[in-house]
């Protein structure tokens, strides 16, 4: 099943469920709402009629007095009203009056005069000074035959309750209004549901189209065809650009060309020196003259070997996504190991390594072997630029939640043009003593190790001359 169809079906299910629940809530509220409005009207009417009937009830002429005549006239009146499209031609009220005992003394229909209504809620509660109302089915077998009764107290001049007037109205009178409201709710609900589904269909089509464009582009690239990045929008545009970047890297338009070009350039010089020395050694030469050429071959071979070793080490680090062996590394022990590894190199140039740290218990989190290699590279790089018989300083200190490991020298420093590129692969500077350039991989290796540890690197000039290389690594928790 295509993802566009899945999105549409999921959206359809959500909208349908929401529409069903919403319509049910509306429909469930229509009938009670209309009945509540009718009850409010009946309350007002019952209280008005109770005031009008008070004199006749107290005078004992409730059955044939002015009140009874007015009610009889009401039953014969034609309202001639049109209520929101529904005509009203007759009054549909029933009015009855009960005395203080709950006995019906007046009934507009004339059927229950003399009946005892004292047990009905409308009469029973009103006689006790409470709000009295009830809804009772005229036919127990027909639930739609319910009649709403609302009562109001009849009081004498002293405020005592002397009777109850009840106004009754069949609920079926308001049934047309309820049915019409429900019909309108259902109709507009169906319209909204249709609009929502149309929007969902368009959204699903748009998403499916965007994904289809990217899918066809990826398939064309996989087949080796020439394909241009399709025009997409939003997150799909970002995804397309990511695919294009990945494609560029896989095809080697940047990474492989730069790597191979720099590598061949770096290897060309030692290979040319080896070839020239070998050609001269093929000729008959005195022993004293042969020795310099043999030394040149050995030196350039070692240079090539070192370059290959560093390339392998750098490749191993570059392809690692995370550290597999993370543990607490004591910085004091790490600096001791770096001192031993760099000792022979420094002694050959008459240099010395001065180690400084304030906290012997300082620990960092990471891979001790990689950290040691990175620091050794920094020390060797400083040795290449530092004057002979000078001191190279190695400092370790706490800086917040990281350990700051600095290698300082008093060489010529870093030229301004080289500062942004010193950590690039194969980039190197000429040595002050005229020696050959390095492989240009040492500082790049240091930067990769720092990244693996969640740290950072920097190479800046010192005040008073020289350079300061810094490796920042998070502390062990």
Q: What are phi and psi of 223, to 5 degrees?
A: -85, 0
Is the Cβ–Cβ distance between 53 and 97 less than 8 Å?
A: yes
Record the tokens describing residue 169, joined without a space. 């109205």
**CA 369 centroid distance within chain:** 39
Nearest to 426 by CA among 314, 280, 270: 314
- CA 334 – CA 332 distance, rounded (Å): 5
Q: What's the alpha-carbon Rg for the chain, to the nearest Å?
A: 50
CA-based torsion, 228, 232, 235, 236: positive or negative: negative
The Cα diameter of the chain in Å comes to 157
- For the chain, the straight-line distance linking the first and the last C-alpha, in angstroms and rounded, comes to 49
Q: How far is CA 14 from CA 19, 185, 277, in A?
A: 8, 20, 81
Which numeric CATH code is attached to 252-319?
Answer: 1.10.287
User: For the whole model, what pTM was predicted?
Assistant: 0.44
Predicted confidence at residue 251, as pLDDT, reads: 55
- CA 404 – CA 362 distance, rounded (Å): 11
Residue 433: which residues within 8 A CB-CB, separation 6 or more?
A: 388
- CA 171 – CA 38 distance, rounded (Å): 9
- CA 472 – CA 458 distance, rounded (Å): 9
Residue 183: which residues within 8 A CB-CB, separation 6 or more?
A: none
Secondary structure E strands in 58-182: 81-83, 86-88, 94-99, 104-107, 133-137, 146-155, 161-170
Secondary structure E strands in 24-115: 81-83, 86-88, 94-99, 104-107
Is the Cβ–Cβ distance between 123 and 166 less than 8 Å?
A: yes
Which numeric CATH code is attached to 3-180?
Answer: 3.30.450.20
Is the Cβ–Cβ distance between 375 and 405 less than 8 Å?
A: yes
Secondary structure (3-state) at 34: helix
Q: What are phi and psi of 229, to 5 degrees?
A: -65, 125
Residue with tokens 């000792």: 343
- CA 170 – CA 165 distance, rounded (Å): 17
- CA 466 – CA 408 distance, rounded (Å): 7
Record the tokens describing residue 385, joined without a space. 């630029």
Predicted confidence at residue 29, as pLDDT, reads: 67
DSSP H or E segment with residue 100: none
Is the Cβ–Cβ distance between 31 and 178 less than 8 Å?
A: yes
Predicted confidence at residue 37, as pLDDT, reads: 81
**CA 381 centroid distance within chain:** 46
The DSSP code sequence of 339-364 is: HHHHHHHHHHTT-EEEEEES-TT-EE
Q: What is the pLDDT along the chain (477 residues), one digit of tens a residue?
A: 566 666 767 777 777 777 777 666 666 666 677 778 888 889 999 999 999 999 999 999 998 899 999 988 887 777 767 766 667 767 788 999 999 999 999 999 888 999 999 999 999 999 999 999 998 887 778 877 889 999 999 999 889 999 999 999 988 877 777 777 777 777 877 787 788 778 877 877 787 788 788 777 777 767 656 567 777 777 777 777 777 776 666 554 444 555 555 556 556 656 776 777 777 777 777 777 777 777 777 766 766 676 666 556 555 555 555 676 778 999 899 999 888 888 878 888 889 999 998 888 899 988 888 888 889 888 888 888 888 888 999 999 998 899 999 999 998 888 888 888 888 876 777 676 655 556 667 788 888 888 888 889 999 998 888 899 999 999 987
Nearest to 411 by CA among 433, 395, 437: 433
CA atoms within 13 Å, Cβ hemisphere of 302: 6
Where along the chain do its domains lie? Answer: 3-180, 252-319, 321-474
Local structure of residue 116 (DSSP, 8 states): B
Q: What is the second-level CATH architecture of the domain 321-474? A: 2-Layer Sandwich (3.30)
């Amino acid at each position: 099943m295509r993802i566009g169809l899945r999105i549409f079906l999921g959206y359809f299910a959500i909208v349908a469920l929401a529409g069903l629940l919403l319509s049910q809530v509306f429909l469930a509220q229509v009938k009670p709402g209309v009945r509540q409005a009718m009850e409010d009207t009946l309350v007002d009417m019952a209280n008005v009629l109770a005031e009008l009937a008070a004199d006749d009830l107290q005078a004992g002429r409730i059955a044939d007095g002015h009140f009874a005549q007015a009610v009889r006239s009401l039953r014969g009146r034609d309202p001639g009203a049109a209520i929101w499209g529904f005509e009203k031609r007759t009054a549909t009220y029933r009015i009855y009056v009960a005395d203080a005992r709950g006995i019906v003394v007046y009934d507009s229909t004339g059927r229950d005069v003399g009946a005892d209504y004292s047990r009905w809620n409308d009469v029973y509660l009103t006689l006790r000074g409470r709000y009295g109302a009830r809804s009772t089915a005229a036919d127990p077998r027909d639930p739609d035959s319910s009649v709403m009764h609302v009562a109001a107290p009849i009081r004498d001049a002293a405020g005592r309750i002397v009777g109850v007037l009840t106004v009754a109205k069949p609920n079926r009178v308001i049934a047309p209004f309820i049915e019409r409201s429900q019909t309108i709710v259902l109709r507009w609900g169906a319209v909204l549901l249709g609009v929502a589904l149309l929007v969902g269909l368009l959204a699903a089509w748009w998403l499916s189209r965007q994904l289809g464009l990217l899918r066809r582009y990826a398939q064309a690239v996989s087949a080796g065809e020439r394909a241009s990045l399709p025009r997409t929008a939003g997150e799909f545009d970002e995804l397309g650009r990511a695919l294009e970047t990945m494609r560029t890297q896989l095809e080697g338009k940047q990474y492989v060309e730069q790597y191979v070009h720099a590598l061949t350039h770096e290897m060309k010089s030692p290979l040319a020196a080896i070839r020239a020395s070998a050609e001269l050694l093929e000729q008959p030469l005195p022993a004293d003259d042969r020795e310099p050429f043999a030394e040149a071959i050995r030196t350039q071979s070692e240079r090539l070997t070192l370059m290959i070793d560093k390339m392998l080490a750098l490749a191993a680090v570059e392809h690692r996504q995370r550290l597999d062996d993370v543990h607490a590394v004591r910085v004091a022990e790490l600096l001791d190991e770096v001192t031993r590894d760099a000792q022979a190199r420094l002694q050959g140039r008459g240099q010395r390594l001065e180690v400084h740290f304030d906290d012997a218990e300082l620990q960092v989190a990471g891979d001790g072997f990689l950290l040691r290699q990175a620091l050794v590279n920094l020390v060797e790089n400083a040795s290449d630029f530092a004057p002979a018989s000078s001191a190279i300083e190695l400092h370790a200190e706490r800086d917040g939640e990281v350990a700051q490991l600095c290698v300082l020298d008093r060489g010529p420093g870093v030229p301004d043009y080289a500062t942004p590129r010193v950590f690039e692969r194969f980039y190197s500077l000429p040595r002050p003593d005229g020696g050959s350039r390095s492989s240009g991989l040492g500082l790049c290796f240091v930067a990769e190790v720092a990244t693996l540890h969640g740290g950072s690197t920097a190479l800046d000039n010192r005040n008073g001359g020289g350079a300061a290389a810094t490796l920042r690594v998070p502390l062990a928790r």
